[in-house]
Amino acid sequence: MTVEEQVATLRRGTAAITTVEDLGKKLALGRPLRVKLGLDPSAPDIHLGHTVVLRKLRQFQDLGHEVVALIGDFTGRIGDPSGKSETRRQLTTQEVEANAATYRQQIFKILDPERTKIDFNSRWLAPLNFAAVCELASKVTLARMLERDDFATRFRENRPVHLHEFFYALMQGYDSVALRADVELGGTDQTFNLMMAREIQRDYGQEPEVAVITPLLEGTDGVQKMSKSLGNYIGIDEPAPTMFGKVMSIPDSMIGRYFEVCTTVPLLRVAELLAGNPRDAKAFLAQSIVADYHGDAAAQAAADEFARVFSRRELPTEIPEVLLPTGEASAVELIMACAMAASRGQARRLVLQGGVSLGGERLTDPVAVVSVPDGSVLQVGPRRFARLRVVRS
């Protein structure tokens, strides 16, 4: 590709590039650029939100650039304070090592393992003596650190800001110095850290890296950032039918955004799909995403199963069986026996909301005892099923 074509490809799905002109200049050098992505191993289960920046890294890789996936085994002991209203618990060395191993396994669902360099920032951060740390700290003022919104807010509200938290951005910046990075990727929540890295590189006599900033992907609710703790995530290790169903649950307003940052479907094709029926566009989106992580055959099977269950209202082909000691139980007892609710209160709400049926008949009373024929199917919500087997002693 020409420099202009590379820039156009790399701009897709970004929130900002600091700067586009600098990126063009670096691409024009005629050598592979060293592109860095820092991964703090504090949340090892990768979901689609994490893949936005990983897919951007893969784009650089496919364009022939040198990709470094940097496991923050040293910075992970502190924890990134970005977006945090209080000090994060420091991870143990054992926790960091376990999470790092999981990251290494999962990122190769997106990156080419043969062309990916894995590095660990303990390699250069651990040997730093106190004099070197003081020199690094001298590059930044306290006023500059307090420009960071989360620090400023906590300081203003008299909530603790511990000194070690300031060192996170400094160490991330020093990573770029150690690697002599040309480009660094990160989400919008990393903007402060990315800008700090550029300043620190300049202070160490290096050409500042280009910061390619990707958006934070909203979860299946279409509002909050995708997060496992919020329950609005789509995990890349989830079964194909589960992934397909979750993508189909996103609001129609999010279809275009998911196409742009979670797929390689050409934007002209995306525009055509968005001009048509939203359900068809969403099905195409779901199949594209599932194919990336499970293959075309699994994606097609998931699409067929979804159509069978949700369009034609048929039962899934595979339904887990749950053994019951008696042929009579209340709706709440059935839901809890099938582990389809976290508490009896939640189970009760599911029934009252009209989302529970037994053998195709809706259950409306949470505590009324009903007859449970052997082999009948309990359905909770649109996607959870269990075949009930009565085992009498």
- For residue 179, give the CATH number of its domain: 3.40.50.620
pLDDT at residue 88, as a whole number: 53
Domain total for the chain? 3
pLDDT at residue 236, as a whole number: 92
pLDDT at residue 44, as a whole number: 62
Q: Are residues 43 and 130 in the same domain?
A: yes
Q: Which of 103-117, 120-134, 226-240, 379-393 has the lowest mean pLDDT?
A: 379-393
Q: Where are the beta strands (DSSP E) in the chain?
A: 16-18, 34-39, 66-71, 116-120, 183-187, 210-214, 321-324, 328-330, 356-358, 361-362, 369-371, 377-380, 384-390
Is residue 228 domain-resident?
A: no
Q: Are residues 333 and 193 in the same domain?
A: no
Residues 6 or more apart whose CB falls under 8 angstroms from that of 92 comprise: 77
Is residue 230 domain-resident?
A: no
Q: Average pLDDT for residues 136-156, to the nearest whole number?
A: 86
Angle CA 11–54–83, to nearest 5: 90
Domain boundary among 291, 311, 331: 311
Q: Are residues 304 and 379 in the same domain?
A: no
Res. 390 pLDDT band, cuts 50 70 90: confident
Is residue 61 domain-resident?
A: yes
Give the integer Cα–Cα distance in Å for 28 and 5. 12
User: Helices 267-274 and 278-294, interaxial angle, to 10°?
Assistant: 140
Q: What is the domain extent for residue 258?
A: 240-311
Q: Are residues 76 and 178 in the same domain?
A: yes
Report whether pLDDT(299) > 90: yes
What's the mean pLDDT when you consider all of the chain? 89
- For residue 331, give the CATH number of its domain: 3.10.290.10
Q: Are residues 298 and 374 in the same domain?
A: no
Q: Are residues 7 and 66 in the same domain?
A: yes
Report whether pLDDT(204) > 80: yes
Give the integer Cα–Cα distance in Å for 245 and 382. 9
Q: Which of 160-174, 238-252, 292-306 has the lowest mean pLDDT?
A: 160-174
pLDDT tens column, 225-284: 998 878 899 999 899 999 999 999 999 999 999 999 999 999 999 999 999 999 999 999
Res. 143 pLDDT band, cuts 50 70 90: confident
Among 130, 99, 29, 115, residue whose Cα is nearest residue 64: 115
Q: Which residue has the higher pLDDT, 237 or 182?
A: 182
pLDDT at residue 85, as a whole number: 46
Q: Are residues 299 and 332 in the same domain?
A: no
First-to-last CA distance in the chain?
Answer: 71
Res. 105 pLDDT band, cuts 50 70 90: confident
Q: Are residues 162 and 270 in the same domain?
A: no
Report whether pLDDT(314) > 50: yes
Residues 6 or more apart whose CB falls under 8 angstroms from that of 333 comprise: none
Q: Are residues 342 and 282 in the same domain?
A: no
Res. 117 pLDDT band, cuts 50 70 90: very high
pLDDT at residue 90, as a whole number: 65
Q: Are residues 193 and 273 in the same domain?
A: no
Could you tell me the sign of the dihedral formed by the alpha carbons of 169, 174, 175, 176, in that order?
A: positive
Q: Are residues 255 and 202 in the same domain?
A: no
pLDDT tens column, 38-47: 987 766 678 9
Q: Are residues 300 and 334 in the same domain?
A: no
Is residue 263 domain-resident?
A: yes
Among 68, 72, 95, residue whose Cα is nearest residue 168: 72
Is residue 219 domain-resident?
A: no
pLDDT tens column, 8-31: 999 999 999 999 999 999 999 989
Is residue 124 domain-resident?
A: yes
